[in-house]
Amino acid sequence: MADDTKTTDAAKPEVAASPAEAAQTPPQQPVQVQVNDDNAMATYANFCRVTGSPEELIVDFGLNPQPIGVPKDPIQVKQRIIVNFFTAKRLLAALQMSVARHESVFGVLETDINKRVRPGLQQQQAPQKS
């Protein structure tokens, strides 16, 4: 270190900030966590089921080969993720932010598959006004 006379935040005496000063302090930057995803396995899912207990959530992912109507065969669960509610809440926030960003660029996502696949059908079924 070229200059050892600088004080660090840990060496500074603590001073109580007024509420106005505290409101003006910039938020802390998120910590960058290193992730190694070399062994991660990617799979596609168009079905998910959420169950759980008072301590954790269980999210099952699978592929529904018949997305319209009731499937004839059971849906095979390929991935099961078990998380505590703290992690689930962080996941919820991350997913909400990602979906909101996507919708702001590409438009609102319609989750009713019947409206997506057959948009003309909805107009035909609507009663016509005379």
Tens of pLDDT along 112-123?
Answer: 878 877 765 555
Q: How confident is the model at residue 100 (pLDDT cuts 50, 70, 90)?
A: very high
Whether pLDDT at 4 is above 50: no
Residue 67, burial from CB neighbour count under 10 angstroms (0-12, 13-18, 19+): exposed
Predicted local distance difference test score (pLDDT) of residue 119: 61
pLDDT for 66 beyond 70: yes
The pTM is what? 0.61
| Distance in angstroms (rounded) separating the CA atoms of residues 67 and 47 | 9
Q: What is the mean pLDDT of residues 30-44?
A: 91
Give 7 or 40, the one with higher predicted confidence: 40
Q: Is 52 left (phi over 0), alpha (psi -120 to 50) or beta?
A: left
Please state, for a pLDDT cut of 70, what percent of the chain lies above it. Answer: 72
Residue spans per domain, the chain: 47-112
